Amino acid sequence: MTLTADASPGLKAPRAARPKGASFDPIFQALCFSAATALLAALGGVIVTLAIGGWPAFQAMGLGFITSSEWNPVTDVYGAAGPLVGTILTAALALAFSLPVAFGVAIFLVEFCPTVLRRPIGTAVELLAGIPSIVYGMWGLFVFAPFFANHVQMPLMMAAPPGSLMEKLVTGIPNGTGILAAAIILAIMILPFMAAMLRELLLTVPPQVRESAYGLGATRLEVVSSVTLPYVRSGAIGAVMLGLGRALGETMAVTFIIGNSHGFPASIFDSGSTIASTIANEFTEATSVAHTSSLLALGLMLFVITFAVLGLARLLIGRSQH
Amino acid sequence: MKSARAIQRQIANGIFAVGCYLVTFVALAFLAAILWSLVKQGVGGLDLAVFTKDTPAPGSEGGLRNAILGSLMMCALGMTAALIIGVLAGTWLAEYAGDSKYGAVVRFLNDVLLSAPSILIGLFIYGILVSPFGGFSGYAGAAALALLAAPVITRATEDVLRLQPGALRESAVALGTPLWRTILSVLWRSASGGILTGALLAFARITGETAPLLFTALNNQFFSLNMSKPTASLPVVIYQYALSAYDDWRRLAWAGALLIAVTVLAVTIIARIVAREPRRS
């Protein structure tokens, strides 16, 4: 938008036609422009820093950096497969757990909730989306883990028939930490965030659309499944992917509870690591160049994965919603 | 008489409704459990010493004073920088960018930055501020926090400026006000509530951030106002103390976690109240 006051052609422009102080206009615009560019540069800076810093690791290990699961700072051999698999596995499990619940909560708030409770429950969900992840991490380690060990891990390990696939899946030390525990904590963390976004989306469905379906005699389930959800489909996929992006990059909560061991997790109770937890644990202690570089290379991989997920999510959600 | 099909539909609908009630109850129960243990474990550790004494060696008495102070300093500096960048960038997007390609790119990437993993921001600041200048510092920590808060403020500023009526701009310009003054004294002023809300939400976001501080500000066991040196922060102290083997350290970690959670909740609630308040006429 340009709103500079131009004098009409042919007339002798009076001096006052150009408002006092207008010479500052281009400077102000340049200031605003450089601030916007600074944000762009920051994102570019992240990728450049990680690429330059991580390059030696890719160069030294080659493709083995991605495929090998050996991570040994003593011999300076680094393979990212363990954290990579851990990241994808925990995030996918977390999404699988929290997705139905988030949809259920959002639908409850929009379709079923008594009007009196709508506001308090909605507010509670939104507030909890802002609780820092370190709080979830502490709760996970000190409250959830002992409970999980006694009431989930032990019974499951006892119940598994020896030699069966299930036994392979649930082996480990029943101390309450591990891949599955981390995934559950992640699921609890991203749940309020996704539920709040899905609720916002469902509220954008025009009331007429919903009412006309009810007018035709549809049940609530039918209205939700064939009218409101299809109406918000692309936005809902975007919201879910934003949740996935969070789960992929989440650091502190996972670091507390995943057990932080390198290599491939052998079962869902086994301890493991994610890219973010590995960086958080080792970065300040990394002394060799190869070690630091491998951690930055891990960061680059995380960046590429989350950038793809978040970018797609933003495209699907569009500009109208947060 | 209802047909079999109608009964089937009713049953399916009933199961669906029960399911929705159930998962909401489960979700709220989990979240209540988290808040309950936070209060239960944290209140016991909260005493005057938490605010007046510095982080102790294991076994001795102490508090979180240096960590609270460090957090406050870094958040204040980070927020100042983020406000300047965020408000200006948001203004550019709303007032100058229009439909330009570059504007669309900035807008899109700002949204991505908004939800980018904070640990990567930490690595970036490490790469440009810590490693070349030879040391962890509070300034680096503040820079990382600023970079996390700025996209939130940019987004809020742009959104709220777009809501301002065009007549507001036109009338100011018609009175002979230059555009920059129009933005400063008319648009920013009438949008101040929305910008404030965004700033509060950004503040709530960075107060609990731990990951990017781990390798930018690091930590400091002692009371220090010098931000060019490693600086303590509440989240990093919580992280360190929670994973320690000492009971009194863990007690302090819980007290700190409660402090942070209460701060975040309070700031979020204030932000919501500010957002709801009708604009000044």
A280/B124 Cβ within 8 A: no
Q: Does A107 touch chain B (CB under 8 A)?
A: yes
User: Does the pLDDT at position B133 exceed 90?
Assistant: no
State the DSSP string of A13-30. PPGGGS-TTGGGHHHHHH
Cα dist from A49 to A43, A44, A258, B122, whole Å: 10, 9, 28, 11
CA closest to B203 among chain A residues: A130
Residues in Cβ contact with B81 at an 8 Å cutoff, skipping those fewer than 6 apart: B142, B143, B146, B150
- In this prediction, residue B160 carries a pLDDT of 94
Mean pLDDT lowest among A97-111, B170-184, B257-271: B170-184
CB contact under 8 A, B92 and A188: no
Could you tell me if A251 lies within 8 Å of chain B, comparing CB atoms?
yes
Left if phi > 0, otherwise alpha if psi is -120 to 50, otherwise beta: which for A82?
Answer: alpha
The Cβ-side half-sphere exposure at A145, using a 13 Å CA radius, reads 23
- Which residues of chain B does A276 touch, with a Cβ-Cβ cutoff of 8 Å? 117, 119, 211
**Local confidence band at B276 (pLDDT 50, 70, 90 cut-offs):** confident
Bigger pLDDT: A119 or A186? Answer: A186
The residue-averaged pLDDT of A7-21 equals 58
The A residues from 174 to 193 touching B (CB cutoff 8 Å) are 188, 191-192
Contact A250, A133 (CB under 8 A): yes
Whether the predicted pLDDT of B280 surpasses 80 = no
Buried-state track A311-322, b at ≥16 Cβ within 10 A, e below 16: bbbbebbeeeee
Percent of chain A past pLDDT 70, that is, above it, reads 93
Predicted local confidence at residue A63, as pLDDT: 81
Is residue A7's pLDDT more than 50?
A: no
